[in-house]
């Protein structure tokens, strides 16, 4: 079991940090390694498949993906300074976001991607080119969007987006 103290508060829509363009990571510090650990714990606790640093208030280009849940590796993967270099196909899938709890919508995205990134492995950075498909590709694209201040609702037609946000705001207010 992860200890509660490792779990970070998740920033919610309306928080400015979610709209900032995150900065590239120049040096791997102990602070960043610790942050990645806490983000893994936070993601697991919140039942998310991915979590980007801006969602915990850090405007840096890092995110974690629960690749254990996706059955891609035995441990969650930490992506640092990722860049999508190829996109192919198209798929529609219902997305949600830990920063917009309770709002879900179908989003169209490329089905396959190739991403150039650094991965954190045993406290070291390893450069990788990763081919991702289906849900893995979708999570990576959703998280990279977070690093650019983009949220999944921004991909929706303007009217659908406005309607969903109206409902979401009403629901949050009524929860008091
Ligand atoms: Zn999200």
CATH of residue 141's domain is 3.90.45.10
CA 2 / ligand 1 centre spacing (Å): 22
**133: which strand partners?**
112
pLDDT in the model for residue 176: 61
Give residue 70's pLDDT band: very low, low, confident or very high (50, 70, 90).
very high
CA 105 / ligand 1 centre spacing (Å): 12
pLDDT in the model for residue 174: 81
Q: Which residue range(s) make up the domain with 160?
A: 4-174
**Dihedral, 94, 99, 10, 26 alpha carbons, nearest 10:** 90
pLDDT in tens, 93-147: 999 999 999 999 999 999 999 999 999 999 999 999 999 999 999 999 999 999 9
pLDDT in tens, 18-49: 999 999 999 999 999 999 999 999 999 999 99
Q: Residue 160 belongs to what H/E stretch?
A: helix 158-174
pLDDT in the model for residue 173: 81
CA 174 / ligand 1 centre spacing (Å): 23
First to last CA, the chain: 31
CA 122 / ligand 1 centre spacing (Å): 26
Is the pLDDT reported for residue 175 higher than 90? no
Structure-model confidence comparison of residues 3 and 2, the more confident one: 3
Give me the number of domains the chain comprises. 1
What beta strand segments (E) does the chain contain?
Answer: 50-52, 62-65, 77-88, 91-95, 105-109, 112-121, 124-133
pLDDT in the model for residue 48: 96
pLDDT in the model for residue 3: 58
Is the pLDDT reported for residue 2 higher than 60? no
Supply the pTM of this predicted model. 0.95
Active-site positions?
A: 143
**Beta pairing class for 105-109 and 91-95:** antiparallel
Contact 109/138 with Cβ under 8 angstroms?
yes
């Amino acid at each position: 079991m992860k200890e509660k103290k490792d779990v970070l508060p998740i920033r919610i829509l309306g928080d400015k940090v979610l709209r900032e363009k995150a900065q590239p990571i120049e040096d791997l510090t102990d602070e960043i390694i610790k942050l990645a650990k806490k983000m893994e714990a936070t993601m697991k606790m919140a039942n998310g498949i991915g979590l980007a640093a801006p969602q915990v208030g850090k405007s840096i280009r890092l995110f974690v993906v629960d690749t254990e849940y996706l059955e891609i590796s035995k441990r969650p993967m930490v992506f640092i300074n990722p860049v999508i270099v190829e996109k192919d196909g198209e798929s529609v899938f219902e997305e949600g976001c830990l920063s917009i709890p309770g709002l879900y919508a179908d989003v169209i995205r490329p089905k396959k991607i190739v991403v150039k990134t650094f991965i954190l492995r045993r406290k070291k950075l390893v450069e990788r080119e990763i081919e991702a498909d289906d849900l893995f590709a979708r999570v990576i694209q959703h998280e990279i969007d977070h690093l650019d201040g983009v949220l999944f609702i921004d991909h929706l037609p303007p009217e659908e987006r406005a309607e969903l946000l109206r409902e979401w705001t009403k629901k949050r207010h009524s929860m008091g």
